[in-house]
Structure 1
Amino acid sequence: MADDAPENEEVAAPKKSGLGKGLMIGFISVVVLVETALFFFLVPSAEEVSALAEARLIQSVQEGQQKVEELTDEENSVEEVLIGQFGETFSPLDTQDHYRVELNLFGLVRKKDLEKMNAEKTSKEGRIRHAVRMKIRMSDLSELDENQLGLLQRRILTTCNHLLEDDLLLSVGFRDYQLYKE
């Protein structure tokens, strides 16, 4: 009976109910299921992340290109520069008549070169005026007709760009142009 007593004590101890363990397992299972559902529904997939990153990258590149284009357009915009007012009296080589040419000469320069052009124009003003006057005087009377001024413009442009440090002038033109026979 002594051996029977310990068996009876073990049997006499109340068994714990499985309800507590079941509740704990159920609670943990619900938490795991909720976290898994949140992960699948709220966390974006790899494709979504890469598509979003690509869209942001494309947008930033386009914005950068627009800024660069705006700066480039601003730098490459063309500005007018007054080169000078000229009035020359001359006698063409083939006649004894005297003629007078009066013109306002301007040049077209890129905006980024405007300061450099103004500095060079003031430092070389005498040479530029002399070269333009010589081109006018050395021209034939037919070249000084209003419908033939392209050749004179090209000569003046070439001469002015030759005198300047860089080819800053894009073209030259005449604001006012008059040819008088005296």
Structure 2
Amino acid sequence: MGAAADLPVGGVRRDADALVVALFQAEAARLVQLARWFVDDRTAAEDLVQEAFLRLARSQHRINDPDRAAAYLRSIVINLARDHNRRGLVSLRHRLPADPDDRSAEDHAAADESRREVIAALRALPRRQRDCVVLRYYLELSVGDIAGTLGLSPNSVKTHLQRGLRSLKTVLEVKG
């Protein structure tokens, strides 16, 4: 039964597999960077993205619109990152942190401090505001794409963006 179950029916399974592979090639690096906005450890971010692709591959039969698959994948990554931060995924919790960058402290101290302040400010935002701001300004998604990724209306996305940016401005101006 194993070999027969893997045979494509009318090419549907082969098309779905090709979609997952194409998404991995096109989106994996950006998704790891997206996950890094939510988790501190690069290794954990990579594992979250890998898990997201596994979940996508397992549920690929439910993908009716290949154009929405990237949004679905982004939402999986965001939800996994939330789960990681809330409870900690057991397999990720016991890993050693990734090696730090080999950059010179003198060359990047100011940039690193600014980046830490921005990330801390982002992480302090309410969940929806943070999600919208990161997707808009880091992944450069349109309001419509953010709405599709998070399952919100475009007007809700705009509201969360406005509130998030206002909060970031207030927090970062106080520190600056």
Q: TM-score scaled by structure 1? A: 0.29
Structure with the higher fraction of residues in strand conformation: 1
Q: Based on CA coordinates, which of the two structures has the bigger radius of gyration?
A: 1
Structure with the higher fraction of residues in helix conformation: 2
Q: TM-score scaled by structure 2? A: 0.29
